């Protein structure tokens, strides 16, 4: 941090609600920063952020879920913000990320919870439901396809291959870290702005994101994508927990057809699409929060 930069704490001091607290949990061999809110005995909801997000990405959903009668648990996933960042690519395989969620639920004295994920956190949420279906009461997915749909679309659609260029770029050694970290992580900021509608991320919010990225650097986040490529697919294809998929149709990275295709891999699923909303649909449409509350209730 340069002498001219102001220190920004990236725990729950970012919020004005005194009932939202920061905690740390030792789970699955890693120490995770976790934001908690709500009655400890209420039904549990776990919210999983993606890239380049951190727990703060769920700030607009925490309060409404608590008001609706839920206990809310929002981790910084491993390698992000205030959570520990293990070394090596294998530490970021989906089997490890899903085990983190399972152990976080157990750390609350529960055997299951509602699980909601956005972006890469959505991939983790899909995988928890597929690998450990008894752990998931109800599933919420925001702008990320079912893993099988994503694999099959990459095999059949050049458009999706081109939109997923960054996944291949992140497989290169060292270069992604240099590109994302240079100029005070200007490319990370650009990724927020390019993938969202104008005004979704104001300057104050962007500075909070920069502060969160500085804690662990960009390498662990890139390793999510390297670990994704090394991960074994789940043994099951069909999701059994009741599922809500919310999808901003103006996602620049993902074809909207994958949202409807994902419904076909669920025993019980409903799709809500949001025209003129981006990949960051839960920031841009209050109706997403309302839909999640109704679904989980």
- Active-site residue identified among 146, 225, 251, 295: 225
Tokens of 19: 């009932």
Exposed e or buried b per residue across 1-31, where buried means at least 16 C-beta atoms within 10 angstroms of its C-beta = eeeeeeebebbbebeeeeebebeebebbebe
- Active-site residue identified among 114, 119, 150, 265: 119
| Residue 146: active-site member | no
Nearest to 94 by CA among 53, 39, 135, 132: 132
**Beta strand pairing status for 71-75 and 30-37?**
antiparallel
- Active-site residue identified among 279, 282, 283, 295: 279
Q: What is the pTM of this model?
A: 0.95
Structure-derived torsion over alpha carbons of residues 145, 191, 288, 10, reported in degrees to the nearest 10: 120
- Average pLDDT value for residue range 81-109: 96
Phi then psi dihedrals of residue 59, to 5 deg: -60, -35
**Beta strand pairing status for 71-75 and 136-142?**
unpaired
Average pLDDT, the chain: 94
Read off the pLDDT of residues 181-207 as tens digits, 9 standing for 90 and up: 999 999 999 999 999 999 999 999 999
| Residue 283: active-site member | no
Structure-derived torsion over alpha carbons of residues 24, 25, 26, 32, reported in degrees to the nearest 10: -70
Give the rounded percent of residues in the chain with a pLDDT score beyond 70.
98
DSSP E strand boundaries for 136-241: 136-142
| Residue 49: active-site member | no
| pLDDT score of 188 | 93
CA atoms lying within 13 Å on the CB side of residue 29? 8
Nearest to 61 by CA among 53, 70, 52: 70
| pLDDT score of 3 | 40
Q: How many CB atoms lie within 10 A of CB 135?
A: 20
Read off the pLDDT of residues 29-52 as tens digits, 9 standing for 90 and up: 999 999 999 999 999 999 999 999
pLDDT band at 86 (very low <50, low <70, confident <90, very high): very high
Nearest to 79 by CA among 229, 232, 222: 222
| pLDDT score of 1 | 46
| pLDDT score of 43 | 97
- Average pLDDT value for residue range 248-260: 94
| pLDDT score of 5 | 54
| pLDDT score of 8 | 84
Tokens of 61: 């959903």
Please give the Cα distance from 185 to 113 (Å, whole number).
35
Asked whether residue 6 carries a pLDDT value surpassing 90, the answer given is: no
Read off the pLDDT of residues 136-193 as tens digits, 9 standing for 90 and up: 999 999 999 999 999 999 999 999 999 989 888 999 999 999 999 999 999 999 999 9
């Amino acid at each position: 941090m340069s002498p001219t930069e102001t220190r920004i704490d990236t725990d729950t001091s970012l919020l004005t609600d005194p009932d939202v607290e920061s905690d740390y949990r030792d789970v699955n061999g890693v120490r995770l920063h976790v934001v908690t809110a709500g009655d400890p005995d209420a039904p549990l909801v776990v919210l999983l952020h993606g890239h380049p997000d951190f727990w703060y990405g769920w700030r607009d959903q925490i309060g409404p879920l608590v008001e609706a009668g839920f206990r809310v648990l929002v981790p910084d996933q491993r390698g992000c913000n205030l959570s520990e960042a293990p070394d090596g690519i294998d530490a970021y395989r989906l089997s490890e990320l899903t085990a983190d969620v399972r152990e976080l639920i157990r750390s609350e004295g529960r055997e299951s919870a509602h699980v909601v994920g956005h972006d890469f956190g959505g991939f983790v949420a899909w995988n928890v439901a597929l690998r450990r279906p008894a752990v998931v009461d109800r599933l919420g997915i925001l702008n990320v396809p079912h893993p099988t749909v994503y694999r099959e679309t990459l095999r059949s659609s050049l458009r999706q291959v081109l939109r997923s260029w960054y996944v291949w770029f992140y497989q290169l050694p060292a270069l992604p870290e240099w590109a994302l970290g240079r100029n005070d992580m200007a490319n990370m900021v650009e990724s927020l702005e390019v993938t969202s509608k104008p005004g979704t991320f104001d300057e104050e919010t962007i500075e909070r994101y920069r502060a969160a990225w500085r804690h662990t650097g960009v390498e662990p986040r890139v390793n999510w994508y390297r670990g994704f490529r090394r991960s074994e697919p789940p043994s099951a294809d069909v999701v059994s927990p009741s599922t809500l998929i919310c999808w901003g149709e103006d996602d620049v990275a993902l074809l909207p057809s994958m949202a409807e295709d994902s419904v076909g891999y669920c025993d019980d699923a409903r799709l809500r699409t949001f025209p003129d909303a981006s990949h960051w649909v839960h920031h841009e449409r209050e109706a997403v929060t309302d839909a999640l509350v109704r679904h989980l209730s």
